[in-house]
Every structure is written in C-alpha cells, then in structure tokens.
C-alpha cells in the first residue's frame, strides 16, 4: 500500500514524498435539464457569429455582446448549481483513496496584472510537467482541448510498476455532433457526458538511448530527425521525431526501429483507435497521453465507469512496455 512507503517514483524529479490531498464530499447539486446547457452553447455560437458579422454590419454588436454575456454567465451559473467542479474533485480524490495512491489537486491557471503586464500563474507541479512533455499537451485532432492536468497521482500498478498519472475532466455537449461522438467504450450513448484527457508515465527496464515523440502532427525542432517505419498506416497516424538521449552515441534511427517493432506498431495502432494516442520516449521513461469519454449525465453511471476508464488506459499504456523491452 502507498501508506507503507516513504516516497514514489516521479518522472520529473525522480522521487516524491507520499502525500494525498483530502477532498470533502460536496453532496448533491441541483440537477438541471441537459437542454439548458445546450441552449447556452447555441446562444454562444450565435454570439460568435454576431461578432463576425460586425465586420460588415456594426449594428450586429447590439446582439452579439449581450448574447455572449448571457451565454457565458448562464454556463458558469449552471456549473455552480450542479457543483460540477466539486464533484469532479471528489471523484479524483476517491480514485486515489480506493487505490492507495498519492494525489494532488492542481490549482487552475490564473491571470494577474503585475507592473502593467498580464502574467499567468501556473501550478508548480503543472509547470514542471509542461516543461518536459508540453508536446503531448497541445490541442490536436482527437484532443481539441489542450491537456492541462487538474489532478496528479503517484503510485503502483497491480503488478507493482511505479507510475505517474495526470487527469483532466470536462463536460462535453455532443447534441449537434456526429453520431460516433455520442457513444463511448462502455456501451453508453447520449448527447452529453464527460471527456477525460489522460497522461501516464512509467519506466522501462532498459534505456532506449533516444528521446522520441510520436504525435499526430510533425514536430519542427532543431536537431531532431524525422523517421518513418515500413507501415504506411502507422506513418499516417504518427509523425515521429527522434534524437539521441543525453550521453548516447547510438544512431537514434536504429534505436527507434528496435523499439518500434511490428508488434509494437500494431499495438499502438489499435490503441490509437480509442485513445488518439500521443507517445514520448525519453531514455528509459515512457509518456502516454490520450483521451476517452463517458457519454452519460448520471453521476452514478459516471462514477461507476470512471475508475474503469483510468484502469483501462493504464493497462493500455503498460502493454507497450512488453514489446519495447
């Protein structure tokens, strides 16, 4: 159990003391009909259209400004009445409690005025992660909202493998989206639900000798080599960039091909179907980021599937380990 050890492995500082934030049960919020949120969303879209129309019709601002104010205020008010943020934090805390993991809530970013300039305060834990794995957090196809962890975990898998995990949850409204987005991997279907961005890290039992990224778009960075495999499907899904890790003298392209065996590529393709994976190899450390969703508005259903969603993503990420080693 976590409480029986003094520290955890951490991919950014090597070790971290055992620590767990405590979150109080927020109780029940006010249950609002889903169409209310959809209505405010539609109004906000009309507001944006109104602002665009002011280019040729300035009077459109008389509609756009109040429409935007009403929609934003309405959505914020609905979130407060439903206690969305507090229920999310409670869900995050329960996950840590049930598994015996260390857990920290991440403070949201805040804008401040200092000496006439606007600065953004970022939680030190989040800033440390972005410095290392910022390329995995950017918006991209399949992950339209940038990954900004709201909670972080440190612990061990059921097989005893140390890991670090970052989680982000937000509400989605798919009422006007294509049918595929209204379904999830648990058999649920609905116009609204929760979307989760996840990023997990763990260590391999060998040093790959490279720093490599497998992203949905090409990475333009000095000193990095673009690489391709013999699989056209793999190359269409992942744009690979690679460089030697610190102190390595090995050809990074050859080291990458040893890591990305045909079995590894097949595994990543299958996992990308569900999670829209982004991968980073840093010597002996693997970072996986992805996205998944629960398409249901019932808090009981979300709670029932949440731990399973995290567990499935963790197992998917660790499956990569068996092939690379």
Give 20-73 as a DSSP string. B-------------HHHHHHHHHHHHHHHHHHHHTTT-GGGHHHHHHHHHHHHH
CB 146 within 8 A of CB 137: yes
Q: Residue 231: is it exposed, middle or buried by C-beta count within 10 angstroms (0-12/13-18/19+)?
A: middle
Place of tokens 């269409």: 236
CB 311 within 8 A of CB 296: no
Task: Kindly state the helix (H) or strand (E) to which residue 279 belongs, with its residue range.
Answer: strand 278-282
Q: What is the pTM of this model?
A: 0.81
Question: What confidence score (pLDDT) does residue 32 get?
Answer: 53
Question: Please, what are the averages of pLDDT over each run of 10 residues along the chain (325 residues)?
Answer: 71 92 79 60 61 66 61 57 78 94 92 77 92 88 81 93 95 76 88 91 90 79 67 87 74 81 89 91 93 89 92 91 77
Question: What confidence score (pLDDT) does residue 45 get?
Answer: 64
Q: Measured between alpha carbons, how far is 203 from 215 in angstroms, rounded to an integer? A: 20
Question: What confidence score (pLDDT) does residue 56 get?
Answer: 73
Question: What confidence score (pLDDT) does residue 153 get?
Answer: 97
Residues in contact with 71: Cβ distance below 8 Å, sequence separation at least 6, in sequence order? 40, 41, 43, 44, 47
pLDDT tens per residue across span 277-291: 999 999 899 999 999
Q: Measured between alpha carbons, how far is 80 from 107 in angstroms, rounded to an integer? A: 18
Q: Measured between alpha carbons, how far is 227 from 223 in angstroms, rounded to an integer? A: 13
Domain chopping of the chain, boundaries: 17-28+83-324, 34-81
Task: Give the tokens for residue 162.
Answer: 């140390």
Q: Residue 154: is it exposed, middle or buried by C-beta count within 10 angstroms (0-12/13-18/19+)?
A: buried
Residues in contact with 324: Cβ distance below 8 Å, sequence separation at least 6, in sequence order? 204, 208, 259, 261, 264, 286
């Amino acid at each position: 159990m976590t409480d029986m050890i003094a520290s955890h492995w951490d991919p950014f500082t090597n070790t971290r003391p055992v620590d767990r934030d405590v979150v109080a049960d927020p109780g029940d919020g006010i249950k609002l009909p889903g169409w209310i949120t959809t209505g405010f969303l539609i109004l906000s879209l009309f507001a944006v259209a109104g602002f665009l129309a002011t280019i040729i019709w300035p009077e459109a601002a008389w509609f756009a400004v109040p429409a935007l104010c009403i929609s934003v205020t309405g959505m914020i008010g609905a979130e407060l009445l439903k206690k969305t943020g507090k229920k999310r934090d409670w869900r995050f805390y329960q996950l840590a409690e049930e598994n015996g993991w260390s857990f920290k809530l991440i403070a949201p970013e805040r804008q401040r005025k200092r000496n006439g300039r606007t600065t953004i305060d970022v939680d030190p834990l989040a800033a440390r992660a972005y410095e290392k794995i910022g390329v995995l957090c950017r918006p991209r196809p399949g992950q339209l909202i940038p990954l900004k962890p709201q909670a972080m975990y440190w612990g061990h898998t059921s097989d005893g493998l140390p890991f670090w995990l970052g989680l982000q949850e937000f509400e989605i409204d798919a009422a006007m989206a294509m049918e595929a987005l209204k379904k999830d991997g648990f058999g649920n279907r609905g116009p609204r639900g929760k979307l989760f961005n996840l990023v997990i890290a763990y260590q391999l039992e060998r040093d790959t000798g490279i720093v490599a990224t497998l992203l949905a778009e090409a990475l333009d960075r000095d000193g990095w080599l673009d690489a391709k495999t013999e699989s056209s499907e793999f190359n269409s899904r992942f744009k690979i960039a690679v460089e030697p890790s610190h102190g390595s003298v090995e050809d990074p392209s050859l080291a990458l091909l040893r890591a990305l065996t045909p079995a590894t590529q097949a595994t990543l393709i299958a996992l990308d179907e569900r999670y829209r994976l982004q991968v980073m190899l840093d010597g002996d450390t693997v970072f996986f980021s992805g996205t998944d969703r629960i398409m249901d508005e019932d808090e009981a259903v979300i709670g029932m599937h949440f731990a399973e969603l995290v567990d499935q993503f963790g197992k998917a990420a660790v499956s990569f380990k068996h092939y690379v080693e």
